[in-house]
Amino acid sequence: MVSCSPEGAPAARRHDFAAGQAPLPQPVLRQVQRDILDWQGHGRSVLDLAFTTEDFRGIARRAQESLSRLLKLPPAYHVLFLQGGAYAHFALTAMNLMGRVRSADYVITGHWSSRAASEAARYGVVRIAATAAPFGFCRIPRECEWRLDPSAAYCHLTSNETANGLQFHWTPESAAVPLVADLTSDFLTRPLDIAKYGLVYASAQKNAGIAGLTVVIVRDDLLERALDTTPLVFNYGQQAQDGSRVNTPPTFGVYVAALMFEWMEAAGGLAVLGDAGRRKAATIYGVIDQDDYYRCPVLPADRSQVSICFRLPRPADEQDFLAEAARNGLCNLQGHTLRGGIRACLYNAVTDEDAEALAAFMQYFSRRRRSGRRSRHLS
C-alpha cells in the first residue's frame, strides 16, 4: 500500500481513488460523526440502536424508500439488507436460485465474474454462456455471441469488472431466463433498468456506504427456489418475509446506506450521477488516448466509467508513478493485486476536481519522463 504522505506531512488536498473501501462524501461523514455521539438529539449513539426497535426500523425504512425512489423500483421487488459481502452472495445467489433446475449460465468478463462462477459451481452446474478470456478480458462478448441455455435457472453477469476495467454499457434483452447481476462496483453510479433483472446484489462499501452490508434486490417470483441446505439467515425468501431481520442485520451499515441514498437523491439522482461519472471518466481517458505514454487495453466501447485501468511503459515506471502521485496527494491508484498497473476508481464521492487533479498529474508525469529521457540521451 502506498502511503499518502511518506514524510508524515498531510497532503495539501487528498484525492482518493480507492477501489474499496470507497471514500464517503463529506456531508455524510459529518452527519455520521454527529449521530455517533448523539443520534438525532436522542442523547444516545446510532451505533447501539437495537435492530428490534422502532427507531432502527425507521432507519431501515428510510433506506429502503430512498433506494426505491432512486431506482424507481417496481412493486414486484423486495430490497434485502444482508451481511456477507458480494463474495458470500456469489454462493448464496446460487443456493437461493438454482432450485430444481440445478444449472445456471454465467458470462465471464474478468476477475469477479470468474469468482462468482467458481462459487456457484459448488451448488449446481455452471455453464459458461460467454467468456472474454479469448479477448484477454479486454472486450465483452456481444449478446449474439452468447450461447444461452433456455432451461437455465438464471443467467449471471458482472456489470463492472473492478479489476479489469470493463463495464457493460447495455443490458442483455434476449435472456429467456432471469438475469442476475453483481452490481457491486457500479451500483447507483448511473441509471439502472431494474425491471430487466430478476436479482441484483452489491456490497455497500463501494458506492453505498461501508463494509458489512450487502444490498440484494430480488423479484418476488424468485423467492421460493432456495435449496434446502441454504442457511436460514441467507434464505432470501425468509429474509424478505421478515424484513431482513431474521437475525441482527448490519445496523450501522444500513444507517450509513440511508444517508448515502439520500445524499444521491439530493445530488439529483442516478441520471445526474451518471452524467457526472461520464464526465470524470472522459477526463482520464482523454489523457490516456492523447498521450501514448499511457495505454488502456480495453476496447473503448467496453471501458469502465468507474474503474479506469491503464498501464505505463514498464512496471518500474508504474512504481515511480504511484509513489510520486501519492506524494502529490493522489492516493490508492495501484491496480488490483493480481493484475498490477494503475487503477483509478471514480465512485460517486470522487469529484470533478479529483479527476482533473489526476489528469493534470498524468500529463506532468509523462512530459517529465519524456524530457528526462531526452536529456539523458543528450548528455
Ligand X SMILES: *Cc1c(COP(=O)(O)O)cnc(C)c1O
- Which residues contribute to the site for ligand X (CB under 6 A)? 20, 85-87, 112, 158, 162, 182, 184-185, 203
The nearest distance, CB 221 to ligand X, in angstroms, is 25
> Is 206 known to be catalytic?
yes
Closer residue to ligand X in complex, CB, 22/49: 22
Closest CA to 334 of 356, 309, 313: 309
Spatial distance between the Cα atoms of 209 and 198, rounded to a whole number of angstroms? 24
Closer residue to ligand X in complex, CB, 113/366: 113
The nearest distance, CB 161 to ligand X, in angstroms, is 7
Give the CA distances from residue 87 to residues 287, 363, 373, in Å, rounded to whole numbers and listed in that order.
34, 37, 45
Closer residue to ligand X in complex, CB, 66/203: 203
List the grid coordinates of 9: 506531512
Closer residue to ligand X in complex, CB, 15/206: 206
3-state secondary structure of 58: helix
Q: Are strands 214-219 and 199-203 parallel, antiparallel or unpaired?
A: antiparallel
Closest CA to 320 of 334, 306, 307: 334
The nearest distance, CB 276 to ligand X, in angstroms, is 20
What is the DSSP track for 273-295? HHHHHHHHHHHHHHHHHH-TT-B
Closest CA to 222 of 200, 193, 254, 255: 200
List the grid coordinates of 160: 463492472
Closer residue to ligand X in complex, CB, 137/293: 137
Q: At what angle do helices 251-266 and 26-37 cross, to 10 degrees?
A: 140
The nearest distance, CB 154 to ligand X, in angstroms, is 17
Closer residue to ligand X in complex, CB, 56/90: 90
Of 206, 280, 302, 354, catalytic: 206
Of 105, 182, 302, 354, catalytic: 182
Contact by Cβ (8 Å): 245, 52: yes
Helices (H), the chain: 26-37, 54-71, 85-97, 111-120, 236-241, 251-266, 270-290, 315-327, 352-378
Closest CA to 187 of 149, 224, 216, 147: 216
> Is 72 known to be catalytic?
no
Contact by Cβ (8 Å): 305, 346: yes
The nearest distance, CB 214 to ligand X, in angstroms, is 7
Give the CA distances from residue 266 to residues 28, 73, 353, in Å, rounded to whole numbers and listed in that order.
12, 18, 20
Closer residue to ligand X in complex, CB, 66/162: 162
Residue 140: φ, ψ to 5°: -85, 130
Of 39, 112, 146, 263, catalytic: 112
Catalytic residue list: 112, 182, 206
